[in-house]
Structure 1
């Protein structure tokens, strides 16, 4: 029962937020984190559009291992909710681009609808496929808190 509740909490964080912090590593071995707006496909695939010339895109091309954090930074301190992921990221393959472009554009009314052709040039569509998932449990959580913030696995 506890696992089911934590899974639902994690899903709610994904649905409630438009941006994720994407962590990549450069060829110099240094980390780089950038915010990207995203469209989820369930809890294990996350799509975003970026220039292939951006630093995080170049990093993904060389090193597909990424980390992701999704959270609401507007809540008061101590009331945070967040999910964390380890994932493999890559360009969406051409044979999947049409369907994925439609999915990506469907989440935001304010976002123009991108066609597959528009995501083959100046902007490219990327997908991160989560390999590990966690949800934040704050130390003061009335049900599961331990006095310290912790990460709990979800969708295991």
Structure 2
């Protein structure tokens, strides 16, 4: 399997899913994970809206390092595909908020678009962005090209820098 095929598989997983699992670091060093619906901007940035009072948002205010996994939990056991990534998260800066809010909500017609004022104080949501550092794709152990030949899955880097 070529790097191009691995990259295409990873892009397909990202494009096909609306939820990602966001992992943040609590003050005591423990992990906190939460699902959020997201909009990808290629494979470099991932956007979501959350309350600044949520556990993960408070964690990000203290430590912006995140881990993310994007996967389809509806597939049969043993058929999973997933993309893992590490990133640095931030609040979307005020000067980018209008454009990025429109971009974020464009993936979700059911949201009817966020008004920028809904994402500023005193309202309860903010727009966040994770800027990716590294990506990997999960390859099933039984994959004919990159599998381990066992039941052990492996991760392969995609979009290497």
Q: What TM-score results when the alignment is normalised by the length of structure 1?
A: 0.97
| 1:143 shift after superposition | 2.2
Mapping 1:7-156, distance limit 5 Å = 7-120=7-120, 121-146=123-148, 147=150, 148-156=152-160
> Do 1:49 and 1:124's aligned partners in 2 also have CA atoms closer than 8 Å?
yes
| 1:108 shift after superposition | 1.3
> Do 1:78 and 1:140's aligned partners in 2 also have CA atoms closer than 8 Å?
no
Task: Output the CA distance in 1 between the equivalents of 2:116 and 2:146.
Answer: 44
Task: Output the CA distance in 1 between the equivalents of 2:112 and 2:70.
Answer: 23
Look up the SS of the partner of 1:104 in the other structure. helix
| 1:44 shift after superposition | 1.5
| 1:112 shift after superposition | 2.8
Look up the SS of the partner of 2:112 in the other structure. coil
Look up the SS of the partner of 1:145 in the other structure. coil
Q: What TM-score results when the alignment is normalised by the length of structure 2?
A: 0.94
Structure 2: gaps of 5 or more residues: none
Look up the SS of the partner of 1:15 in the other structure. helix
Moved over 4 A (4+): none
Look up the SS of the partner of 2:142 in the other structure. coil
| 1:111 shift after superposition | 1.9
Q: Provide the aligned length of Structure 1 versus Structure 2.
A: 156
